[in-house]
Amino acid sequence: MGIMIAVLTGIVGEKLGDVVVLDVRGVGYGLNVTIEDFGRLTSGQSAKVYIYEHIREQSHDLFGFVSLDTKQLFEQLLGVNGVGPKMALSVLSIGTSSEVRLAIAGGDTKFISRANGVGKRVAERIVVDLKDKVGLEGVDLSTTGMLQGEGLLLKDEAVEALVSLGYTPQDAAQALNDVDPLLVVEDRIKAALRGSY
């Protein structure tokens, strides 16, 4: 294996179509980026971009990501059978990386198949392969016994907050089980934290 480019830091130059040119000491690297990153990278400003190199006989493509987290999600998508770099980039361009994670974790194949070139079958494969690997911005509360009332509580901010504090989704759901679901989010979090010590 030859030299691998992992990170590039330079000045954002031109934007040609959906490619951003990053000028690194006089060398312009053409980077394929997501729509989200295309909007973030401002011409004339310095940027650090995480790189994924895709080398084939006929081409050498560079894919750039402002956030390492998005690059990791891109690589996870590449691990799905039938998903190449262009398709993975297209999936990451249908929303923010958190929205894409949420859709995968929540099994929202309709949202995923909005990506260019992604059919229903590929969207289903993405969900099946990655549902448990994408991190837990998308907690399926129906499996944690936390669906209250008419099932209005599908995406629970209190659970998400506890997960961000290091709880597993199951522990977060457990901690909130005895807390009044009608309290405001902050109070539910405080009550859950008090109860778990």
Q: What domains appear along the chain, each with residue ranges and CATH number?
A: 7-65 (2.40.50.140), 68-130 (1.10.150.20), 141-195 (1.10.8)
Question: Looking at residue 49, what DSSP letter applies?
Answer: E
pLDDT in tens, 1-47: 566 889 999 999 999 877 999 999 999 999 999 988 999 999 999 99
Q: Containing H/E element for 24?
A: strand 19-24
Mean pLDDT computed over every residue of the chain: 82
Give this prediction's pTM: 0.67
pLDDT of residue 145: 39
Average pLDDT over residues 177-188: 79
Q: What are 44's two structure tokens? A: 């004339």
Cα–Cα nearest to 134, from 93, 86, 98: 98
pLDDT of residue 135: 65
pLDDT of residue 181: 75
CB atoms within 10 A of CB 87: 19
Cα–Cα nearest to 4, from 71, 47, 51: 51
More confident residue, 31 or 135: 31
Per-residue buried b or exposed e for 171-196, using 16+ beta carbons within 10 Å of the residue's own CB: bbbbbbeebeeeeeeeebbebbeeee
Contact 127, 76 (CB under 8 A): no
Contact 173, 141 (CB under 8 A): yes
